């Protein structure tokens, strides 16, 4: 009897700890949040300006190895993105302009459609709970998928599915 109570207690604690993680993800089909900021080039940015086009929104940092791998994977499918008019928006959390510019130069990554440095508002709006975070937004400006890092193959597969559904 005591064993059952301990196991039940552990299950409840685990569920309570994991609940914020599942609640934090954007739900498929919901409207994409309006994100605002300033691009690396100093231009005003509104995510809604990209409405009507499919979007990959990546949130990460320059120092995170998985974020670097995700940027590389997205960069490697740049031709596919261009062919399908998919917009790639890269958001860096709490980074300097100099660090982000060096990151792209050193990594020889394809240049995203927009690069933003966020010191809080986007982080809060998206309730960021892990990095890298990859959000697929369809041309109707609805969330298609909110996920963690994906391989090149999985990125293309998800994009193929999203483009076919739209």
State the DSSP string of 70-109. HHHHHHHTHHHHHHTT-EEEEEEES--HHHHHHHHHHHTP
Give domain status of residue 2, yes or no: no
Average the pLDDT over 105-131 and give the result: 93
Render pLDDT for 22-62 as a digit per residue (tens, 0 to 9): 446 889 999 999 999 999 999 999 999 999 999 999 999 99
Number of domains in the chain: 1
Q: Which domain CATH number covers 107? A: 3.40.30.10
pLDDT at 108 over 60: yes
Cα–Cα distances (Å) from 32 to 10, 18, 51, 98, in that order, read 35, 23, 10, 29
Per-residue confidence at 95, pLDDT binned at 50, 70, 90? Answer: very high
Give domain status of residue 19, yes or no: no
pLDDT at 140 over 60: yes
Give domain status of residue 123, yes or no: yes
Render pLDDT for 61-91 as a digit per residue (tens, 0 to 9): 999 999 999 999 999 999 999 999 999 999 9
In whole angstroms, give the CA distance from residue 63 to residue 24: 23
Give domain status of residue 12, yes or no: no
Q: Provide the token pair at 83.
A: 């062919």
Mean pLDDT for the chain? 87
Between 8 and 74, the more confident residue is 74
- Parent domain of 137: 28-165
Give domain status of residue 70, yes or no: yes
State in Å, rounded, how far the first CA of the chain is from the last one.
Answer: 53
Residue 83: the pLDDT is 97
| Number of helices (H), then strands (E), in the chain | 6, 7
Render pLDDT for 149-164 as a digit per residue (tens, 0 to 9): 999 999 999 999 999 9
Per-residue confidence at 1, pLDDT binned at 50, 70, 90? Answer: low
Residue 25: the pLDDT is 83
Give domain status of residue 49, yes or no: yes
Q: How far is CA 58 from the centre of its chain?
A: 3
Return the C-alpha torsion angle 42, 44, 47, 48, nearest 10.
-150
pLDDT at 2 over 80: no
Give domain status of residue 20, yes or no: no
C-beta of residue 144 within 8 angstroms of C-beta of residue 27: no
Of all residues in the chain, the percent with pLDDT exceeding 70 is 86
Provide the 3-class DSSP secondary structure of residue 39.
strand
Give domain status of residue 119, yes or no: yes
112, 121, 148: which is closest to 133 by C-alpha?
Answer: 148
């Amino acid at each position: 009897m005591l064993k059952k109570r301990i196991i039940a207690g552990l299950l409840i604690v685990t569920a309570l700890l994991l609940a914020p993680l599942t609640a934090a993800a954007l739900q498929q089909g919901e409207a994409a949040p309006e994100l605002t900021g300033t691009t690396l080039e100093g231009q005003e940015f509104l995510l809604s300006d990209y409405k009507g086009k499919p979007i990959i929104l990546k949130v990460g940092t320059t120092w995170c190895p998985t974020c670097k791998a995700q940027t590389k994977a997205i960069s490697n499918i740049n031709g596919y993105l261009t062919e399908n008019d998919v917009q790639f928006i890269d958001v860096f959390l709490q980074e300097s302009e100099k660090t982000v510019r060096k990151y792209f130069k050193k990594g020889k990554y394809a240049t995203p459609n927009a690069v933003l440095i966020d010191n809080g508002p986007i982080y809060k709006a998206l309730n960021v709970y892990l990095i890298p975070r990859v959000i697929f937004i369809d041309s109707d400006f609805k969330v298609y998928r909110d996920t963690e890092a994906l391989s090149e193959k999985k990125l293309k597969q998800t994009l193929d599915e999203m483009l076919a559904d739209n």
